[in-house]
């Protein structure tokens, strides 16, 4: 059976057992505790935990998975992969151990036709029940049931979450593949016993302290590796020799010219290229882009490893896009998302491969020199500080440095590398540390612990009564503030939005009935829960405990609100126009403008930008309601909310909804109807690093002002051009054409010879039955020679010319001979002349009797060429 047949056979078998056939879920799990989808059960985690009910209790899937914990092993064995497919059957509080075991046996033996005498069964060390089931219900020989500890037979998807004891099926591939150790048995590291199916009896939930609590129901989660079962069924020793992977390795062989089996090292590289090509294809198809953190970094690492192993195989030209094409050809039927995003995947891979090529070239040169020095000095450990420099200066991955050194049996001082990394992190942290953290950290945490959090009322109100909780000046708490003094004030309650989530802080005033006026220039959040009002006391005096009225600058806030809601609209439109991979990676929402950073791998076209702008403006005008509400993180996710990757959210989150099309987690302040934004104008768009773009835009009055400014510019241009506004482009095109014309005329003048030199040269006209001029003229553009020849001949009745010059631009010699009919009748032949002359200037050429030209490479030969012409013409 090939892979496609195995998939279908598995799904239909478990469908026949009442399982609902479900599609594979995305490699990006809907679960903040996991970076990538690593198993079939990931999409069912909430169901196992009892917080979600699917409305059915049996399911079966073929799940795409990525695991990179074993990345260093991949390629060195026949059974480890970064990307693989897991065949699974699941029970949510429905069937349990008996059915799971019986069906695993029936499917293995009766459907797939595995030899029952070769199957072994492992069970968790104290799981007597499973032993009874295997032996007495399924009827397998007792001596083929082995007990193993938690490492092998207790399964969990991560440090926390649903888990349970498991039972695994092993296939005995025969002693030929064994290690000959007397202890060799299932679980041994050698290739003899291949674990192909894991039946997990999902019974517990593990919390952060490692405590197991029984789940509300007993569940089944099984996982069979498609590549492993394919290897068994296809009778090959390694997963890499099964249909799909073997074809991919074939492509890698073709691209590198290295055949599989020709060496241990090159075999590893071929396997890595084939394996990683699949992971890369599927990760990008699910919306992951290469970056320096999180899953984007996993992707980048796989991509770069694949490229490097391609190079180890001798391939220096880009090759990954060709691998990707074949992955999609092989697997696109089962995973249409790869076909849909084919173009995107190829472009990203291509760009990343090129970028890494440069990095590699620079880094390898550096590393080679360093290694040579190291060996000369007789050392074996590479300096960790240098490895850091390579990482920092060349973007050369540390893992790669380690790998390359290991290939030469050298090590690297990784402790020193880590120290440097930490030091750099500290430096970066210190550099960005907000001054309030630095100087006032102590005072703020004291305030927070003695007085609690600031109550934020700014969603509903612009003005609020409150009391002064703390006055912090130069890092210390003060009881009062005198006129002219600056400080940060903490209030019991505030309408001021402290800068957060890209939205700038509010400005405004804090005033007391006693005449104190504190001007708030900025509001910040020095510690979660506290708002600090930064500013200066302009009048009166203010003390802790005093009652005040805090009022924000309402008009400014209004502008901020418009811009904030506009960023959500932009995010929505960008995802529709450019694709689902677009994610917000930062933003700055100020009163007068907004900035929106997002992930995308190339410059959007002007049509795409225009479309985004039009879509946003349509949504503005459609007058959609904008609503905010608090809910639990899990129900927000179920409602399809867009959460920002990498952000940590508490259990309760605020969802901001525009109409029924945009839903984002957001704590900011927003308009209540989209119409309030007025309209939006994108003012710029550009790249700010690999795969990150930055867009700037203005809304409402600022957009109006922007348009007015552009209009003024157009008016002024129209006035200068003396045309109507709508005729500007036409007039400018004709002006540009005219300028070009004038430029080439000027060039022609510059190329022609001055009148004096023409007269001077004409003095050399000789007579061979017709007037002939053989001359070298000053350097000029090749095209100019022709004009000059016409010029001369116009002044020499019935004459002919043989001219030579050097092309001013290329420095190469040029020849031209031309004569009228009269001269030709009298024996002149331009073609013959040029043919005779051309070899002297290292060139070739020819033409008709009336006109011939030649170019060459050796300007030194011009005199000889002219001499040859003279002798042919019978001149001395």
Q: At what angle do helices 554-578 and 606-621 cross, to 10 degrees?
A: 130
39 interacts with ligand SER by CB under 6 A: yes
Closer Cβ to ligand SER, 26 or 198, answer by number: 198
Number of residues that bind ligand SER (CB under 6 A): 10
Beta strands at 455-456 and 493-494: parallel, antiparallel or unpaired: parallel
Annotate each residue in 157-196 with x if it binds ligand SER (CB under 6 A) or - if it does not, as one string. ----------------------------------------
Sign of CA dihedral 389, 394, 395, 397: negative
Closer Cβ to ligand SER, 226 or 510, answer by number: 226
Closer Cβ to ligand SER, 40 or 526, answer by number: 40
Closest CB to ligand SER: residue number: 223
Distances in whole angstroms, Cα of residue 268 to Cα of each of 8, 227, 258, 274: 31, 17, 12, 10
Query: Least separation, in Å, of the C-beta of 86 and ligand SER?
Result: 6
Closer Cβ to ligand SER, 162 or 290, answer by number: 162
Residues 741-760 that bind ligand SER (CB under 6 A): none
Instruction: List the beta bridge partners of residue 111.
Output: none
| Tokens of residue 796, six digits | 């020499």
**56 with 94: CB under 8 angstroms?**
no
């997963």: which residue's tokens? Answer: 239
Query: Least separation, in Å, of the C-beta of 167 and ligand SER?
Result: 11
Residues 825-854 that bind ligand SER (CB under 6 A): none
- CB burial readout 25-53, b (16+ within 10 A) else e: bbbbbbbeebbbbbbbbbbbbbbbeeeee
**103 with 337: CB under 8 angstroms?**
no
Query: Least separation, in Å, of the C-beta of 693 and ligand SER?
Result: 37
Coarse DSSP helix, strand, coil percentages of the chain, rounded to the nearest 5 percent: 45, 25, 30
Closer Cβ to ligand SER, 88 or 861, answer by number: 88
d(CA 19, CA 34): 26
Give the DSSP letter string of 411-434.
Answer: EE-HHHHHHHHHHHHHHHHHHH--
Query: Least separation, in Å, of the C-beta of 8 and ligand SER?
Result: 19
| Long-range CB contacts (within 8 A, 24+) of 406-412 | 408/371, 409/380, 410/371, 410/374, 410/380, 410/381, 410/382, 411/380, 411/381, 411/382, 412/381, 412/382, 412/383, 412/384, 412/387
Query: Least separation, in Å, of the C-beta of 370 and ligand SER?
Result: 42
Burial degree of 20 (CB within 10 A; 0-12, 13-18, 19+): middle
Annotate each residue in 217-236 with x if it binds ligand SER (CB under 6 A) or - if it does not, as one string. ----xxx-------------
Query: Least separation, in Å, of the C-beta of 16 and ligand SER?
Result: 20
In the set 47, 200, 232, 326, which binds ligand SER (CB under 6 A)? 200
Query: Least separation, in Å, of the C-beta of 90 and ligand SER?
Result: 8
Closer Cβ to ligand SER, 161 or 843, answer by number: 161
């000095």: which residue's tokens? Answer: 377
Please identify, among the stretches 39-47, 330-338, 498-506, 726-734, the one whose residues bind ligand SER according to the rule CB under 6 A: 39-47
Please identify, among the stretches 38-46, 73-81, 287-295, 586-594, the one whose residues bind ligand SER according to the rule CB under 6 A: 38-46
24 interacts with ligand SER by CB under 6 A: no
For residue 598, the number of C-alpha atoms closer than 13 Å in the C-beta half-sphere is 25
Query: Least separation, in Å, of the C-beta of 166 and ligand SER?
Result: 7
| Strand spans (E) along 14-138 | 20-21, 58-66, 83-92, 119-124
DSSP type of residue 176: G
- CB burial readout 505-516, b (16+ within 10 A) else e: bbbbbbbbeeeb
Nearest to 118 by CA among 102, 105, 99: 105
Query: Least separation, in Å, of the C-beta of 222 and ligand SER?
Result: 5
Query: Least separation, in Å, of the C-beta of 155 and ligand SER?
Result: 5
Please identify, among the stretches 33-41, 493-501, 507-515, 665-673, the one whose residues bind ligand SER according to the rule CB under 6 A: 33-41
Query: Least separation, in Å, of the C-beta of 157 and ligand SER?
Result: 6
In the set 19, 78, 88, 843, which binds ligand SER (CB under 6 A)? 88
Closer Cβ to ligand SER, 89 or 494, answer by number: 89
d(CA 616, CA 613): 5
Closer Cβ to ligand SER, 224 or 387, answer by number: 224
Closer Cβ to ligand SER, 41 or 303, answer by number: 41
**327 with 277: CB under 8 angstroms?**
yes
Distances in whole angstroms, Cα of residue 679 to Cα of each of 503, 568, 722: 19, 14, 32
Sign of CA dihedral 194, 199, 205, 210: negative
Helix (H) or strand (E) holding 102: helix 97-106
Please identify, among the stretches 37-45, 556-564, 690-698, 804-812, the one whose residues bind ligand SER according to the rule CB under 6 A: 37-45
Query: Least separation, in Å, of the C-beta of 17 and ligand SER?
Result: 16
155 interacts with ligand SER by CB under 6 A: yes
DSSP type of residue 514: T
Query: Least separation, in Å, of the C-beta of 67 and ligand SER?
Result: 9
Closer Cβ to ligand SER, 162 or 678, answer by number: 162
**775 with 867: CB under 8 angstroms?**
no
Query: Least separation, in Å, of the C-beta of 38 and ligand SER?
Result: 7
Closer Cβ to ligand SER, 40 or 604, answer by number: 40
Query: Least separation, in Å, of the C-beta of 287 and ligand SER?
Result: 23
Nearest to 545 by CA among 450, 615, 635, 613: 450
Please identify, among the stretches 215-223, 369-377, 642-650, 697-705, the one whose residues bind ligand SER according to the rule CB under 6 A: 215-223
In the set 3, 19, 26, 40, which binds ligand SER (CB under 6 A)? 40
**411 with 381: CB under 8 angstroms?**
yes
H helices of 752-820, in order, are 755-762, 782-795
Sign of CA dihedral 830, 831, 837, 838: positive
**210 with 112: CB under 8 angstroms?**
no
Query: Least separation, in Å, of the C-beta of 128 and ligand SER?
Result: 22
Query: Least separation, in Å, of the C-beta of 345 and ligand SER?
Result: 26
Distances in whole angstroms, Cα of residue 217 to Cα of each of 54, 57, 490: 14, 11, 50
| Tokens of residue 605, six digits | 């076209």
Closer Cβ to ligand SER, 169 or 289, answer by number: 169
In the set 68, 82, 91, 198, which binds ligand SER (CB under 6 A)? 198
Query: Least separation, in Å, of the C-beta of 220 and ligand SER?
Result: 9
CB atoms within 10 A of CB 473: 15
Closer Cβ to ligand SER, 186 or 849, answer by number: 186
Closer Cβ to ligand SER, 227 or 751, answer by number: 227
- CB burial readout 103-141, b (16+ within 10 A) else e: bbbebbeeebebeeebbbbbbbeebeebbebbbeebebe
In the set 36, 41, 774, 834, which binds ligand SER (CB under 6 A)? 41
Which residues are near ligand SER by CB under 6 A?
39-41, 88, 155, 198, 200, 221-223
């Amino acid at each position: 059976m090939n892979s496609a047949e195995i998939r279908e056979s598995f799904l239909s078998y478990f469908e026949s057992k009442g399982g609902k056939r479900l599609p594979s879920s995305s490699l990006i799990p809907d679960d903040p505790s996991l970076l990538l989808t690593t198993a079939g059960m990931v999409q069912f985690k909430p169901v196992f935990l009892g917080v979600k009910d699917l409305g059915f209790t049996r399911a079966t899937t073929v799940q795409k998975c990525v695991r990179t914990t074993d990345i260093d092993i991949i390629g060195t064995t026949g059974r480890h992969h970064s990307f693989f497919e897991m065949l699974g059957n699941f029970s949510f509080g429905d069937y349990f151990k008996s059915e799971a075991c019986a069906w695993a046996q029936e499917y293995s033996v009766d459907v797939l036709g595995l030899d029952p005498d070769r199957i072994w069964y492992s069970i968790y060390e104290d799981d007597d029940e499973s032993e009874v089931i295997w032996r007495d219900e399924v009827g397998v020989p007792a001596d083929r049931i082995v007990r193993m500890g938690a490492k092998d037979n207790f399964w969990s998807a991560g440090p926390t979450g649903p888990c349970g004891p498991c039972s695994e099926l092993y296939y005995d591939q025969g002693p030929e593949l064994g290690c000959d150790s007397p202890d060799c048995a299932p679980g041994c590291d050698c290739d003899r016993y291949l674990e192909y199916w894991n039946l997990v009896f999902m019974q517990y939930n593990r919390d952060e302290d490692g405590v197991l609590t029984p789940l509300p129901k007993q569940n089944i989660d099984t996982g069979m590796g498609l590549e492993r079962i394919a290897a068994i069924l296809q009778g090959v020793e390694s997963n890499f020799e099964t249909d799909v992977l073997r074809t991919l390795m074939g492509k890698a062989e073709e691209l590198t010219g290295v055949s599989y089996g020709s060496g241990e090292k090159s075999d590893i590289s071929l396997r890595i290229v084939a394996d990683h090509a699949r992971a890369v294809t599927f990760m990008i198809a699910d919306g992951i882009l290469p970056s320096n953190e999180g899953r984007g970094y996993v992707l980048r690492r796989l991509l770069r490893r694949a490229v490097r192993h391609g190079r180890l195989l001798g391939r220096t030209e880009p090759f990954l896009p060709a691998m990707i094409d074949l992955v999609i050809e092989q697997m696109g039927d089962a995973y249409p998302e790869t076909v849909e995003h084919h173009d995107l995947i190829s472009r990203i891979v291509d760009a990343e491969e090129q970028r890494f090529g440069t990095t590699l070239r620079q880094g390898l040169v550096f590393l080679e020199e360093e290694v040579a020095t190291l060996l000369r000095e007789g050392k074996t450990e590479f300096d960790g500080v240098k490895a850091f420099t390579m990482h920092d200066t060349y973007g050369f991955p540390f893992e790669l440095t380690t790998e390359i050194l290991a290939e030469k049996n050298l090590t690297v001082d990784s402790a020193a590398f880590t120290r440097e990394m930490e030091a750099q992190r500290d430096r970066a942290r210190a550099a960005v540390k907000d001054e309030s953290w630095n100087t006032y950290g102590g005072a703020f945490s004291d305030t927070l612990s003695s007085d609690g959090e600031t109550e934020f009322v700014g969603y509903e109100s612009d003005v609020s009564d409150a009391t002064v909780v703390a006055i912090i000046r130069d890092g210390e708490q003060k009881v009062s503030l005198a006129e002219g003094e600056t400080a940060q004030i903490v209030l019991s309650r505030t309408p001021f939005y402290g800068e957060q989530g890209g939205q700038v802080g509010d400005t405004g005033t804090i005033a007391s009935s006693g005449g104190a006026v504190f001007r708030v220039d900025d509001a910040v959040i020095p510690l979660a829960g506290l708002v600090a009002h930064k500013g200066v006391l302009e009048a009166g005096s203010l003390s802790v405990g005093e009652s005040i009225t805090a009022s924000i600058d309402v008009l400014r806030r209004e502008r901020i609100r418009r811009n904030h809601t506009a960023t959500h609209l932009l995010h929505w439109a960008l995802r529709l126009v450019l694709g689902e991979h677009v994610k917000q990676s930062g933003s700055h929402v100020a009163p007068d403008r907004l900035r929106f950073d997002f992930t995308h791998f190339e410059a959007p076209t002007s049509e795409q930008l225009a479309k985004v702008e039009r879509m946003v403006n349509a949504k503005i005008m459609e007058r959609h309601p904008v609503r905010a509400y608090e809910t639990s993180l899990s129900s927000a996710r179920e409602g399809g909310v867009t959460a920002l990757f990498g952000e940590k959210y508490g259990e309760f989150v605020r969802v901001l909804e525009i109409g029924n099309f945009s839903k984002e987690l957001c704590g900011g302040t927003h308009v209540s109807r989209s119409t309030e934004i007025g309209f939006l104008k994108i003012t710029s768009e550009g790249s700010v690093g690999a795969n990150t773009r930055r867009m700037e835009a203005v809304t409402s009055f600022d957009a109006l002002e922007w348009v007015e400014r552009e209009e003024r510019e157009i008016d002024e241009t129209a006035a200068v051009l003396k045309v109507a506004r709508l005729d500007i482009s036409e007039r400018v095109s004709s002006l540009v054409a005219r300028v070009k014309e004038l430029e080439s005329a000027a060039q022609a003048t510059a190329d022609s010879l001055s009148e004096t030199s023409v007269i001077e040269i004409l003095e050399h006209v000789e007579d061979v039955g017709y007037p002939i001029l053989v001359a070298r003229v000053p350097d000029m553009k090749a095209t100019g020679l022709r004009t000059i020849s016409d010029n001369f001949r116009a002044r020499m009745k019935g004459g002919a010319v043989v001219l030579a010059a050097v092309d001013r631009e290329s420095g190469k010699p040029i020849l031209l001979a031309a004569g009228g009919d009269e001269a030709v009748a009298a024996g002149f032949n331009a073609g013959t002349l040029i043919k005779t002359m051309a070899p002297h200037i290292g060139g070739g050429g020819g033409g008709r009797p009336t006109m011939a030209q030649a170019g060459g490479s050796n300007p030194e030969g011009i005199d000889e060429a002219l001499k040859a012409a003279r002798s042919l013409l019978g001149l001395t």
